[in-house]
Amino acid sequence: MQRLMQVNVQVTEPVYLKDPQATELGRRILEQGVRLIDELGLEAFTFGKLATELGTAESSIYRYFENKHRLLIYIIGWYWSWREYKLAFDTANIADNRERLARAIRSITEPVTDRGSFSYLDLRALYRIAVSESAKAYMTKGVDAEHREGCFGSFKRICDRLKEHILLVRPDHPFPAMLASNVVDGSMIQRFFADHLPSLTEKQARTRLSEFFVELVFSTVNTPRS
Amino acid sequence: MQRLMQVNVQVTEPVYLKDPQATELGRRILEQGVRLIDELGLEAFTFGKLATELGTAESSIYRYFENKHRLLIYIIGWYWSWREYKLAFDTANIADNRERLARAIRSITEPVTDRGSFSYLDLRALYRIAVSESAKAYMTKGVDAEHREGCFGSFKRICDRLKEHILLVRPDHPFPAMLASNVVDGSMIQRFFADHLPSLTEKQARTRLSEFFVELVFSTVNTPRS
DNA sequence: GACAGAACGATAGTATTGCTATCGATTAAG
DNA sequence: CTTAATCGATAGCAATACTATCGTTCTGTC
């Protein structure tokens, strides 16, 4: 698994000017970029600070990414690509549709606890960024254009896969796509709430996220259509 | 109803330096602020532009709000206060718990279609801002501090009310708070998806949002506990 | 109708940000 | 050996996010 991940996580959409995975500097931009965004938050994070951190010039970073927004899109895309791959892995060879759906939901909604030694990116930091900053990646005036460019492909794909798992269990469900995207996005939001606005969740919500979403999906999926 | 709203929608939390509802300039800041944020999006919106729009000086606006982030928090707070009030109204005098829960969900998740002539704020613009920008109000490094200040009170209250309605129908539900906040926040997110990333939702999702959430909640609420 | 105090508009100024351009030096590829 | 790519460094610019100051007007009060 670990080896496979290393090989397979690729961000294919051209959100970059120059492929950061292809060069040493590019990889350091990603690695330290993830650490800095996690540490400072997106608003306080600047290419200037990242450059000092890397001992390089601001302009060098601009050769890879147009601006920090694009870098964020790239990082979030990487995150969802990784989760998508993990999803495929976690659901492989499970014959029973219901069991596979349950595993899929758990795979997607489980918090990341492992630093992940197989990648130069810190997976836990990446998870924290996805939780706290991913809304900023798409909630802008530029969404429609970026969407047309295919910037959110990996997020869409993981939602779509979950939708397919839902449909296999319940082919006549009226809202499989909404249900799927609600689980994928909702698991991030609920994690944020658990960390920062705990009155919006139950106690120990952090560790019971998956349980909540599994129950949520299965109760809709089991409810007879009127 | 319309008269009542005018009287009752108040943002009590001190996110402002000087109460904008108390003066003519303050009200114009809110009114044009809403219009400009809606038009430009939060990133392109600046106090400078708002000042020109209002024919006043930037510094005058800074007398009311520390910065545009605070203005956003205020506006979003106003929005949820308004919805909270609407919720109370829509669920008043309904004796049956299940019927009241269904009405509560519809009240909260229904898109705003009415400009709302009873307020100087454009309700539709406000709704669009709540859909597109509200995540930016709380997803910052400052959440915890702002949360302690009580900045998100109205959002918390509406989630809490929905939670209570859920518990009256299903006192032993294991995740009433998560379910409630998932509905409140999810209805905004799903609306955003419907507008900008439609493959994440069903066709006509915009008009079927409430239907989806009513079904979602009622199926969990009806599912027997194991 | 004089006076104190708020509210406002206007101007100025500063540090930071976000970005573009240019230019050698180093390295890698043909 | 030459050419192109890559990088680090510096410079510079327009916009942003404030802060400070100050005179004017408008308010209510004695």
Find, among A222, A214, A212, the residue nearest to A172 by Cα. A222
For the cut 50, the answer to whether the pLDDT of residue A7 exceeds it is no
For the cut 60, the answer to whether the pLDDT of residue B1 exceeds it is no
CA B53 to chain centre: 25
Rounded to the nearest 5 degrees, what angle is found at the Cα of B73, between the Cα atoms of B71 and B77?
115
CA separation for the pair A98, B149 (Å, rounded): 45
| pLDDT score recorded for residue B13 | 66
CA A203 to chain centre: 24
Interface list for B 197-226 with A (CB within 8 A): 197, 199-202, 205, 208, 212, 215-216, 218-220, 222-223
Best of A216, A217, A225 to disrupt the B interface (most B CBs within 10 Å) is A216
Contact B199, B134 (CB under 8 A): no
| Side-chain half-sphere exposure of B162, counting CA atoms within 13 A | 36
| Side-chain half-sphere exposure of B153, counting CA atoms within 13 A | 13
Find, among B59, B1, B2, the residue nearest to B25 by Cα. B59
Answer with the residue of higher pLDDT: A226 or A63: A63
For the cut 80, the answer to whether the pLDDT of residue B8 exceeds it is no
On the 0-12 / 13-18 / 19+ scale of CB atoms within 10 A, B31 is: middle
CA separation for the pair B100, A48 (Å, rounded): 54
CB atoms B177 and A202 under 8 Å? yes
**Distance, CA of A69 to C1' of D9, in Å:** 25
Name the residue type at position B140: T
CB atoms B178 and A205 under 8 Å? yes
CA separation for the pair A125, A36 (Å, rounded): 9
| Side-chain half-sphere exposure of B68, counting CA atoms within 13 A | 19
**Contacts for A108 with CB less than 8 Å, ≥ 6 apart:** A83, A87, A158, A162, A183, A184, A187
What percentage of chain A exceeds 90 in pLDDT?
87
| pLDDT score recorded for residue A11 | 66
What percentage of chain B exceeds 90 in pLDDT?
88
Write out which nucleotides of chain C lie closer than 7 A to a protein Cβ.
7-12, 16-22
For the cut 60, the answer to whether the pLDDT of residue B7 exceeds it is no
Contact A225, B218 (CB under 8 A): no
Write out which nucleotides of chain D lie closer than 7 A to a protein Cβ.
6-11, 15-21
For the cut 60, the answer to whether the pLDDT of residue B185 exceeds it is yes
For the cut 80, the answer to whether the pLDDT of residue B138 exceeds it is yes
Summarised one tens digit per residue, pLDDT across range A46-80 is 999 999 999 999 999 999 999 999 999 999 999 99
Summarised one tens digit per residue, pLDDT across range B54-110 is 999 999 999 999 999 999 999 999 999 999 999 999 999 999 999 999 999 999 999
Contact A64, A81 (CB under 8 A): no
Contacts 24+ apart (CB under 8 A), B59-67: B60/B25, B61/B29, B62/B17, B63/B17, B63/B18, B64/B16, B64/B17, B64/B18, B64/B20, B64/B25, B64/B26, B64/B29, B65/B15, B65/B16, B65/B17, B65/B20, B65/B29, B66/B17
Summarised one tens digit per residue, pLDDT across range A104-158 is 999 999 999 987 777 889 999 999 999 999 999 999 999 999 999 999 999 999 9
Helices and strands counted in chain A (H then E): 11, 0
| pLDDT score recorded for residue B9 | 64
Both tokens of A66, joined, read 């147009």
CA separation for the pair A180, A158 (Å, rounded): 9
